[in-house]
């Protein structure tokens, strides 16, 4: 059995698809692309697909991950292209690698988010960010299936900055871009929780809903404050095991082999 790990996006209007909607679309794409999927046992077999830390409905993402199990070996890049062609535009498969290591979900410990606040001046956003970061705790509330829950949104935030939109993204009127790095903790702290925290500490209330996009997710490096590519260990393992790597390995010196 071969395992392939995929990175995919949710762009444009497709950011409003729920996780269940994506599951249905992806399973249709698997059938269209004639992928030799492994199936679970039991009365209702399902394709062996493992989804990891899906973004909330309504948010865009450039870094969603899943893993599939195959009954036959396939080239990851060829498989990526076939699946990408079988999915609607906006749900794009951008990377594929053969799984050579364990624990993909364990390497998704933080996310990098971009929050676009139309109608908010950068100066106001910066003041709110400073107040949020200066606070030891920022309690927010969120409605869950078990009722309202109160939790601290500050402790999970590793980085929060405010800036103007880049020159290649012109806007009309005031607009602030927040960059947020948040650790994956329990309970999960989402971008809208941080916005609730900014409202609580600085009365920052955007006049229109924020446009939220996940730019990356992976292992959080505490020293550098960066979020690393979770597929990198698999790529390195594939490269190390390739025939080219074996061919370039140092040859055994004459007379040192076993008799």
Query: What is this structure's pTM?
Result: 0.88
Given a cut of 50, whether residue 246 has pLDDT beyond it is: no
What does the pLDDT look like over 91-101, one tens digit per residue? 999 999 999 99
Mean pLDDT taken over the chain: 91
Given a cut of 90, whether residue 63 has pLDDT beyond it is: yes
Which residues face 143 on adjacent strands? 148
pLDDT of residue 216: 97
User: Omega of the bond prior to 187 within 30 degrees of 0, cis?
Assistant: yes
What does the pLDDT look like over 139-188, one tens digit per residue? 999 888 788 889 999 999 999 999 999 888 878 889 999 999 999 998 89
Could you tell me which of 169, 171, 173, 161 has the C-alpha nearest to residue 121? Answer: 173
pLDDT of residue 177: 97
**Which domains can be identified in the chain, with CATH numbers?**
2-105 (3.30.70.580), 109-227 (3.30.70)
Instruction: Say if residues 150 and 141 touch (Cβ distance below 8 Å).
Output: yes
* DSSP category for residue 107: G
Read off the pLDDT band of 244 (50, 70, 90): low
Length of the chain: 259
Mean pLDDT over residues 30-59, rounded?
93
What does the pLDDT look like over 1-41, one tens digit per residue? 899 999 999 999 999 999 999 999 999 999 999 999 999 98
């Amino acid at each position: 059995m071969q395992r392939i790990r995929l990175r995919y996006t949710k762009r444009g209007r497709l950011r409003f698809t729920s996780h269940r909607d994506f599951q249905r679309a992806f399973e249709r794409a698997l059938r269209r692309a004639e992928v030799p999927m492994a199936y679970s046992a039991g009365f209702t077999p399902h394709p062996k697909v493992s989804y990891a830390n899906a973004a909330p409905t309504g948010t865009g993402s450039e870094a969603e991950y899943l893993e599939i199990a195959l009954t036959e070996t396939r080239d990851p890049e060829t498989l990526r292209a076939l699946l990408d062609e079988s999915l609607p535009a906006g749900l794009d498969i951008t990377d594929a690698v053969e799984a050579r290591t364990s624990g993909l979900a364990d390497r998704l410990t933080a996310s990098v988010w971009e929050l676009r606040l139309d109608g908010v001046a950068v100066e106001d956003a910066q003041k709110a960010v400073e107040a949020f970061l200066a606070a030891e705790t920022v309690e927010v509330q969120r409605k869950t299936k078990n009722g309202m829950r109160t939790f601290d949104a500050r402790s999970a935030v590793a980085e929060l900055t405010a800036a103007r939109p880049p020159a290649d993204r012109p806007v009309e009127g005031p607009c602030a871009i927040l960059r947020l790095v948040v650790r994956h903790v329990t309970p999960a702290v989402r971008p809208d929780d941080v916005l609730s925290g900014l409202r609580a500490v600085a009365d920052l209330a955007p006049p229109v809903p924020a446009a939220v996009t996940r730019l990356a997710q992976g292992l959080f490096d505490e020293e550098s404050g960066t979020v690393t590519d979770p597929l990198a260990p698999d790529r390195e393992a594939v490269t190390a095991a390739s025939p080219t790597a074996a061919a370039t390995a140092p040859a055994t010196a004459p007379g040192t082999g076993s008799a």
